[in-house]
A and B are shown apart, each in its own frame.
Chain A
Amino acid sequence: MSDSAQTPHADEVETEATDDRPDEPEGESHVEPIETGADAVVAALKNAGVDYLFGVQGGAIMPVYDALYSESDMTHVTMAHEQGAVHAADAYGIVTGDPGVCMATSGPGATNLVTGIADASMDSDPMIALTGQVPTDLVGNDAFQETDTIGVTQPITKYNHFASSPDEVGDDVSTAFALADEGRQGPTLVDLPKDVTQPATGVEPGKPETPDTYNPPEKADEDAVSEAADVISDAEQPIILAGGGVIKANASDELRAFAEEHEIPVLTTMPGTGAFDQTEDLSMGIAGMHGTGYANMAITLTDCMLAIGTRFDDRLTGDVKTFAPDADIVHVDIDPAEISKNVEADYPLLGDAKAVLDQLSDAMTDSPEADAWREQCQTWKEEYPLDYEMPEDRPLKPQYIVEQFDEAMPDDTIVTAGVGQHQMWAWQYWTWTEPRTWVTSHGLGTMGYGFPAAIGAKLAKPDKEVIAFEGDGSFLMTSQELSVAVRENLDITIVVLNNEAVGMVRQWQDGFYEGRRMASEYPWVPEFDKLAEAYGARGFRLEDYDEVDEVIEAALDYDGPAVVDAIIDPEENVYPMVPSGGDNSLFALSEGHLDEI
């Protein structure tokens, strides 16, 4: 993509993308002197505690790669495509809570990061992207591999910055790192022109610090907290809606303590999944378009919703006119702009979810009297369980495969997924008990996210088991990263729920376009087990129920990347389903049911 041999600039030499570094004596942490702007960039990352970088080489970013050549405290992982790098960095950020780092060259390198940056922006994932840029004197001339990266990424970054001086570039990176991490997390980008990274400087970068004018709230206003606590105490039908912000704020323990103390049922959004142990009686599961029927009944009929760290996305609310219409909404968020953006907050509490949960806990004088409501919630759970029909023989049901992997793997397994039906089945049928274990593309809906994310997650958490669920359509988009998983010998299991279609589109065509399956059926996909073998990974094909246990065991036992090509029922659909923009309490449990609502 960014072959420097093409570049007309005489000062550039041909190099190979490589991870080779000279052997360094172990345990000896030496400090390289800052000689160039690129050294300052590397020093800033090191100061911030970065251990992995995901990227692809190229002309304009070469000085930074050169500065990494003798760096032994950080490992650069060369990915097959910049999109792989950005999703790996994103997943690194999700599972660790610290910004993941990706890097790419100018022009196509930078634009290939764009999808993943937009993804991180939608999901508030901490990430820093470093992009090469043509030398400043060529900027604006439509130079080779020049793109206005700052202009392109401005709407999809929390902050971006065009570095203009070798003496300042180290601090620029430190600031971008701090901004990615603090307050509401998100992606930041520093664009690095070659004449900023290449020239000499002796300036050491400072510690990561946000600008003085950046002051995210920590604790909520005490009066507002006690007012909200009273409303929750007085509720008869209370629920807690836990969003991704609970996980971002590491507030799962506080959430559990609060919910248990006051016996309030908890449901989660998709990004909030894992914030509350689903095996608890108080868990009401997952809400939204493909959430459980019982969660969607509770979210509609509640009279008091404590919503924490959620932006009330349209896939959660459906039609806002029918969303929790009887509820007083207590909205805890670190971002003032989320308050009353989509749904009016009756009691806004601005602050960090962990701190505000502590405040609320102290301010609660009484627990709500909600025995009847809790009973009602249990009744809904029995009335509307997640369910699918199991045939005697072929075809395989995807839900069953997810359940069997869930059973075979430990509770703290990290599960990644691409986007589509397979993602919904993984979300619905996995039993979520821990935060930072559910890694997928929530807001942007990026197909192909799951597998490169698994690479980032496994490198970040080598002691945890990592499984990636992908669809055939989704896996096709990023499967070239198998080369990286094999090179790094990553013990990842990739399960392709293969229905030879972009199944979610096919499902909508059947439901809303009278079955006109335009461009959604993929009978031409490769045999993914053989594709895996071609890369040097292990491949398994799974077609029959009597092979399931055996294949799962073999795939999980294999010490390296294993791809299970699971041939599933091509007609299977995701239910329950609230049609787009619908009323959450009017969910379809089957296709026939869809016509009635």
Chain B
Amino acid sequence: MRPEGRRNEDGIRIDPEAEAKHESKRAVLSTLVENEPGVLAEVSGLFSRRQFNIESLTVGTTVDESRARMTIVIEETRPGIQQAKKQLRKLIPVISVRELAHDSVQRELVIVKVNGEEPDKVHAITEMYGGETLDAGPRTITVEITGNEQKIDDAIDAYKQFGIREVVRTGYAALARGEQQTAEVEDEVKLTADTEVPADDD
């Protein structure tokens, strides 16, 4: 007696003829946490020990200073993203986890220090990308640009002609769009039906 079916390496039953692999995709996880020592280490430790690929992580307090919001960008297969969200939610200081939709408001900030020999040209590019000059001297000019990942990649490319000395990127900060609440709990990660998360200034 032999079984007929098969599963793939994620334990999902499949048609043996079409043993497709899950493609990795990018997900933005907004995580509301208790603002207490060690939480960042807990979250980053979780991602490294469970081998989730983390692209960026930002953290800062909310209106309620006892709580902080982390925006975590990961690159994972669909089951990997689901598992990451559920594992995050299990950490005791984590209050809520939400995967933000594509239409969410997402911004990254970059600071670029370029050679200062051609200040006019540097300024023109900074204007073009809606950026700001933070520091300008005879040898270096330092500018900031905010935007989505694509815009920032493009801006960095544009500055390359002057010779980039140093770059620092913050990674994404993001909120859900419009009336949607960033801290709202998704069905698939919530622990009970009545888990409610207040708005930042509640």
* Given A301-B3, A336-B89, A343 and B95 contact (CB-CB distance below 8 Å): no
Listed A/B pairs (20) with beta-carbon separation below 8 Å:
A150-B38, A213-B92, A214-B92, A215-B194, A221-B193, A300-B3, A320-B7, A321-B7, A322-B6, A323-B11, A325-B4, A325-B6, A336-B89, A337-B86, A337-B89, A337-B90, A340-B79, A340-B82, A344-B13, A585-B2
Interface stretch, picked from B41-49, B125-133, B147-155, is B41-49
Beyond A326-B3, A326-B4, A340-B12, 13 additional contacts (C-beta under 8 Å) are A155-B45, A211-B92, A215-B194, A217-B192, A301-B3, A322-B7, A323-B7, A325-B3, A326-B5, A337-B90, A339-B86, A340-B83, A342-B11
User: Which residues of chain A are within 8 angstroms of B82 by Cβ–Cβ distance?
Assistant: 340
Query: Is A344 touching B11 in the complex (CB atoms < 8 A)?
Result: yes
CB neighbours of A336 from chain B (8 A): 86, 89-90, 188-191
Residues of A within 8 A of B188 (CB): 336
| Chain A minimum-CB-distance residue to B19 | A321
Question: With A325-B5, A337-B87 given, is the CB distance from A217 to B191 under 8 Å?
Answer: yes
Contact A344 B10 (CB under 8 A): yes
When chains A and B are docked, how far (Å) is the Cα of A323 from the Cα of B94? 34
| CB-contacts of B1-55 with A (<8 A) | 1-13, 34, 37-38, 41-42, 45-46, 49
What is the interface size of chain B, counting residues whose CB is below 8 A from a CB of the partner? 39
For B6, B49, B94, B188, the residue with the greatest tally of chain A CB atoms inside 10 Å of its CB is B6
Q: Which residues of B contact A217 (CB under 8 A)?
A: 191-192
B7 A155 Cβ-Cβ under 8 A: no
Shortest Cβ distance from A337 into B: residue: B86
Residue among A151, A216, A344 making CB contact with B7, cutoff 8 Å: A344
Q: Residue on A with the closest CB to B194?
A: A215
Does A158 have its Cβ within 8 Å of any Cβ on chain B? yes
B86-A301 in contact (CB<8A): no
Chain B, Cβ-Cβ closest to A380: B1
9 residue pairs, one from A and one from B, having the closest CB atoms: A343-B11, A325-B5, A337-B86, A344-B12, A320-B11, A159-B92, A215-B192, A326-B5, A325-B3
For A213, the chain B residues whose CB sits under 8 A away are 34, 92, 94-95
Min Cβ gap B143→A in Å is 37
- Collect the chain A residues with CB atoms within 8 Å of residue B189's CB: 336
Q: Find A179's partner among B45, B92, B94, B195 (CB 8 Å cutoff).
A: B92
Cβ of A21 under 8 Å from chain B:
no
A65 an interface residue at 8 Å Cβ cutoff? no
Interface string of B105-140 (1 = CB under 8 A from A): 000000000000000000000000000000000000
Is A51 on the interface with B (CB-CB < 8 A)?
Answer: no
A376 to chain B, nearest CB (A): 8
B residues less than 8 Å from A585 (CB atoms): 2-3
* B181 vs chain A, min Cβ distance (A): 16
B193 to chain A, nearest CB (A): 8
Q: Which of B9, B34, B89, B94 contacts A321 (CB 8 A)?
A: B9
* Cα separation A342 to B82 with both chains bound (whole Å): 12
Q: Which residues of B contact A317 (CB under 8 A)?
A: 11
The answer to whether A451 has its CB under 8 Å from any CB of chain B is no
Map CB proximity to B onto A170-210 as digits: 1 under 8 Å, 0 otherwise. Answer: 00000000010000000000000000000000000000000
A217 to B188, CA, bound (A): 13
- Say yes or no for A341: interface residue by CB 8 A criterion: yes
Residues in A neighbouring B92, C-beta threshold 8 A: 158-159, 179, 211, 213-214
Indicate if A469 sits at the interface (CB-CB under 8 A).
no
CB-CB under 8 A from B79, the residues of chain A are 340
A154 CB–B CB distance under 8 Å: yes
B48 nearest CB neighbor, chain A only = A155
Q: Which of A179, A221, A321 has the most CB of B within 10 A?
A: A321
In whole angstroms, how far apart are the Cα atoms of A492 and B177 in the complex?
Answer: 64
Q: Is the interface of A mostly helix, strand, loop or mixed?
A: loop
Contacts of B4 in A (CB 8 A): 325-326
Complex formed: what's the CA distance from A154 to B92 in Å?
11
A234 within 8 A of partner (CB):
no
Q: Does A54 contact B (CB under 8 A)?
A: no
| A162 interfacial by beta-carbon distance below 8 Å | yes
A245 to chain B minimum Cβ distance, whole angstroms, is 15
Closest B residue to A179 by CB, please name it: B92
Q: Are B41 and A154 in contact, CB atoms less than 8 angstroms apart?
A: yes
CA of A323 to CA of B7 in the docked complex: distance in angstroms? 7
**Chain A, range 298-357, C-beta contacts under 8 Å to B:** 300-301, 312, 317, 320-326, 335-337, 339-344, 350
What is the CA–CA distance of A154 and B90 in the complex, to the nearest angstrom?
A: 13
Residue among B8, B41, B87 making CB contact with A151, cutoff 8 Å: B41
Which residues of B lie under 8 Å from residue A159 when comparing CB positions? 92
Q: Are B38 and A154 in contact (CB under 8 A)?
A: yes
Query: Which of A215, A216, A301, A344 is the one whose CB lies under 8 Å from B1?
Result: A301
Q: Bound complex: CA of A327 vs CA of B74, how far in Å?
A: 32
B6-A162 in contact (CB<8A): no
Q: How far is the CB of A319 from chain B (nearest CB, A)?
A: 9
| Chain A: minimal CB distance from B33 (Å) | 10
Complex CA–CA separation, A350 to B2 (angstroms): 32
Question: What residues on A are CB-neighbors of B190 within 8 Å?
Answer: 336
Q: Known contacts A158-B92, A300-B3; is A320 also within 8 Å of B13 by CB? A: no
Cβ-defined partner of B42 (8 Å) among A154, A179, A325: A154
With CB as the reference atom, state the residue of chain B lying closest to A303: B3
Q: In chain B, what residue has the closest Cβ to A338? A: B86
- Taking CB atoms, residues of chain B closer than 8 Å to A339 are 86
Write the B176-202 contact mask toward A (1 if CB under 8 angstroms, else 0).
000000000000111111110000000
Closest to B82 in A: A340
Contacts of B95 in A (CB 8 A): 213
A321 to B2, CA, bound (A): 14
In the complex, how many angstroms separate the beta carbon of A475 from the nearest chain B beta carbon? 32
Distance to closest chain B CB from A444 (angstroms): 15
Determine the chain A residues whose CB is within 8 A of the CB of B11 once the complex forms: 312, 317, 320, 323, 340, 342-344
Q: How far is the CA of A585 from the CA of B2 in the complex (A)?
A: 8
Minimum distance in angstroms from B11 CB to a CB of chain A: 4
Least CB distance from A160 to B in Å reads 9
Task: Find chain A residues with CB under 8 A from B46 CB.
Answer: 155
In the complex, A250 Cα to B100 Cα: how many Å? 39
Q: Tell me whether B13 and A325 are in contact (CB under 8 A).
A: yes
Residues of A within 8 Å of B193, CB to CB, are 221
Query: Are B3 and A341 in contact, CB atoms less than 8 angstroms apart?
Result: no
Distance A343 CA – B12 CA, assembled complex (angstroms): 6
User: CB-nearest residue of chain B relative to A350?
Assistant: B191
Please, which residues of chain A bring their CB within 8 A of the CB of B6?
321-322, 325
Most A CB atoms within 10 A — which of B5, B37, B49?
B5
Measured CB to CB, the closest approach of chain B to A151, in angstroms, equals 7
Contacts of B1 in A (CB 8 A): 297, 301
- What B residues does A326 contact at CB under 8 A? 3-5
Residues of A within 8 A of B8 (CB): 321
Tell me which residues across on chain B come within 8 A of A322, comparing CB atoms: 3, 6-7
A304: min CB distance to chain B, Å? 13
